[in-house]
Amino acid sequence: MTPQPPQTKIQLVNTADYREHYANSVQVRVNLWDFFLLFGTLNQSAPDAVNIHNFQGIYLSPQQAKALANVLNQNISQYESTFGEITLEPKTPPSIQ
């Protein structure tokens, strides 16, 4: 039996410019070398007008983008197992008669 190497200790450290933001808009651009994720907030100011205020762009290597997709899929599955299916379309309220 081959001995297992010791588990790597990971320490998370926030930099001085670390910030947290809420995003309800993510745009993705792809080229041969990287993925670009553009985060923003979407506001519908009128029935026919939407404003997106972008605040952060992040470049990822294709490998990191795939790893992120895997982590998101795992967490979405766990979330749905706990809280129920996430739907992408808003539910329409039942009509009152």
Instruction: With beta carbons less than 8 A apart as the criterion, state whether 46 and 33 touch.
Output: no
Q: Cα separations (Å) of 42 from 5, 30, 49?
A: 47, 22, 11
The closest alpha carbon to 59, from 77, 40, 39, belongs to 39
24, 41 contact by CB (below 8 A): yes
First vs last Cα of the chain: how many Å apart?
A: 71
- 5 vs 26: CA distance, rounded Å: 39
Q: What is the pLDDT of residues 82-96, one digit of tens each?
A: 999 999 876 666 665
Q: What is the pLDDT of residues 25-67, one digit of tens each?
A: 999 999 999 999 999 999 998 889 999 999 999 999 999 999 9
Q: What was the pLDDT predicted at 89?
A: 79
